[in-house]
Chain A
Amino acid sequence: MPLTSRPLVAAAAIAALIAILLSLPERDALGRSLPVSFALGAGFGLVLQRSRFCFWCIARDWFADRDPRGLLGIIAALAVGAIGYAAVFGAWLPDPFAGRLPPDAHIGPVSLTLALGAFVFGIGMALSGSCISAHLYRLGEGAFGSVVALLGALAGFVLGFLSWNTLYLLDIHRARVIWLSAWLGHSGALAATLAVLGATALWLSRQPGAEAQDPPDPRPALARRWPAVVGGILVGWIAVLAYFRVGPLGVTAELGSVARTSAMAVGLLPTVLHGLDGFAGCATVVKETLLSRNGVFVIGMVLGSTVAATLAGDWKPAWPGLRAVPRLLLGGVLLGWGAMVALGCTVGVLLSGIMAGALSGWIFLLACLAGAWIGWRARNWATGG
């Protein structure tokens, strides 16, 4: 059995990866390395694709089968990331009580809007079949339905910007940015995070679905799925390397910037979005340069996933059926609106936030799971299941 189903597609993706890597400018306007961001994106895409690190698939496995393996993968990512972030914080901000936050870390405002955004994002995941990061890696598998969902997300972002000022004046302005290390110290915050993750992992591994086994896979070892926990550990590593060298992991900043810049260009948005640029998170700045660190990260992700998918025989170009388009589009709009008002998604707020000891990350996790569950019930009901 050949390792790759599409040697030409794989070769083209690898060639594109190398060509882009070599042609990128050394740094962005803030002095961050663009090639490093691109390479980390490629690694992230590869790991997500190989280990099926898709928040919706993981949630559905749990809702439907009580199979906790994917959730344990997320916990592994959070634990590795939290340890790495703590090591970096210890060097960058030895005194966490000084009233400062670590630079760039996604420690966002805790507000009702955050919970609402994450909840809507969860419904969007269920409806469109993926979160934003998984839609991006699916693109690398040839799932062109994800293009529809991502277009919907762009529109959702614009709706998010349109509702931002109202939400800001009603709610977000009074939100507090809560960083666990500022309360408990670096070691205290890490211990608390690991304790919650450990207790959850212990409980999950005792669930009946924990014994589930995949059917035997006759393909070569490299072509098989990586266990979710392995994927999680690698995601944690990539998150720490990214924070150390470039900035926290996130996949929506560039999408949001594209949406904001285009909508502003046609005069759709108010000229001032109150307080938005002052918050940490997947900041969606008006684009001034073509190449941003998040833009090259996302391009790297799609290409990395393409390489992984083609080499493993997962490259299956597929167009969505016409009947699926409204569902994908609406799901995408909900993803985009939720990610905009929550200042990020399952990657930027959930992963990068919890790793950094941000309460906002935990709120996103809970509200997003709740939204995904509602979405799952609704889909079951709609399909008569």
Chain B
Amino acid sequence: MASKIRLLVTAAGLAILGSVAAASEGPLVTTEWLQENLENPEIRLLEVSVNPGVYERGHIPGATNIVWHTDLVDPVRRDIASKDQLQSILRDAGVNADSTIILYGDTNNWFAAWGAWVLDVYGVENVKLLDGGRALWEAEGRQLSTSPLALAAGNIELGEADPALRAKLAEVVDAVESESHVIVDIRSPDEYSGKIIAPEGFKETAIRAGHVSGAVNVPWSQAVQEDGRFKSPEDLKALYAEAGVDGSKPVITYCRIGERSSHTWFALSKILGYDVKNYDGSWTEYGNAVGVPVTNLAGTIWTGR
């Protein structure tokens, strides 16, 4: 009897390990997979939604709330969250060194993708995105919870930030001049061409219109299907190859504040395996910087309005 029970327990354990292993084969998990693995103690689910009250009024059961504006960025200087800040947030969320982290969020998973990028910068392994994000989970009518969580503190330790995953202004300017990288502008064609400086309603903007000279334009939304899931790796490969991004040269992605470009960073780096840096300063830094190479196809002149 005892041996039977042990066998069952072992089998269950293997089943759990097996399913986590299945998930760790790729950088994305499906909503079906997540549904089946909600009770799995190896996974830690983090919601990064940018709109207030979204997490609280119903989140995927077991998810911890990560607030982008304070948890994933430095609230004082413009920077990613510091190592200590992020480590303590992850430990509070019960993340252990061997946990599999699954991120998801509202607004097309942009901010969740930023989370995946920042975790990558600090060397956290086994970080995945829920494909389709919160919108798909809701559209499929899956359950949401409002119950409070009581997770035991985790033991994860972050490494030092890896500069290889993050482009700073000087590197971007160097890359333009030396043509060492392909630079991908993932904003809308109107922002890229300089017809507009920023989409309507955004207060953080720049005093120059246009794009980083030499950058190619592949709007982030071209990487996803209608339901918000990423396109297949083959389709993504073809999409970016058409714009001259084929992995033969290292890549730099940017947008307006660096969150949408995290989404494209994820596609290029995690799904296609290219060498990619995200430039989180993006247009709100570059378009305000003095003396950097800018291409302004539309010729819009900033007049302070």
Contact = CB atoms under 8 A, between A and B. Distances in A.
Interface of A: 30-32, 90-94, 100, 102-104, 244-245, 247, 288
Contacts of B54: 30-31
A174 to B, nearest CB: 20
Main secondary structure, interface of B, reads loop
A247 B56 CA distance: 11
A247 B148 contact: no
A239 B55 CA distance: 20
Contacts of B55: 103
A100 B56 CA distance: 13
B57 A245 contact: yes
B305 to A, nearest CB: 9
A32 B52 CA distance: 11
A280 to B, nearest CB: 9
Q: Kindly state the interface size class of chain B when it binds its partner.
A: 10 to 19
B75 to A, nearest CB: 10
A147 B108 CA distance: 42
Closest 4 CB pairs of A and B: A103-B53, A92-B56, A103-B52, A104-B53
Interface string B55-69: 111000000000100
B52 A91 contact: no
B148 A30 contact: no
B53 A90 contact: no
Contacts of A245: 57
Given A100-B67, A288-B201, A30 B147 contact: no
B180 interface: no
Nearest to A105: B53
Interface in B36-87: 51-57, 67, 70
Nearest to A27: B138
Contacts of B56: 91-93, 102-103
A91 B148 contact: yes
A103 B146 CA distance: 13
Contact of A30 (B51, B67, B146, B201): B51
Nearest to B55: A103
B185 interface: no
B197 to A, nearest CB: 15
Contacts of A92: 56, 146, 148
Nearest to B52: A103
Contacts of B146: 91-92, 244
B131 interface: no
Contacts of B147: 91
B148 A244 contact: no
Contacts of B138: 31
Contacts of A90: 148
A247 B53 contact: yes
B280 interface: no
B148 A94 contact: yes
A288 B202 CA distance: 13
Q: Which of B52, B67, B138 has most chain A Cβ within 10 Å? A: B52
A90 B138 CA distance: 24
A92 B148 CA distance: 7
A31 B133 CA distance: 14
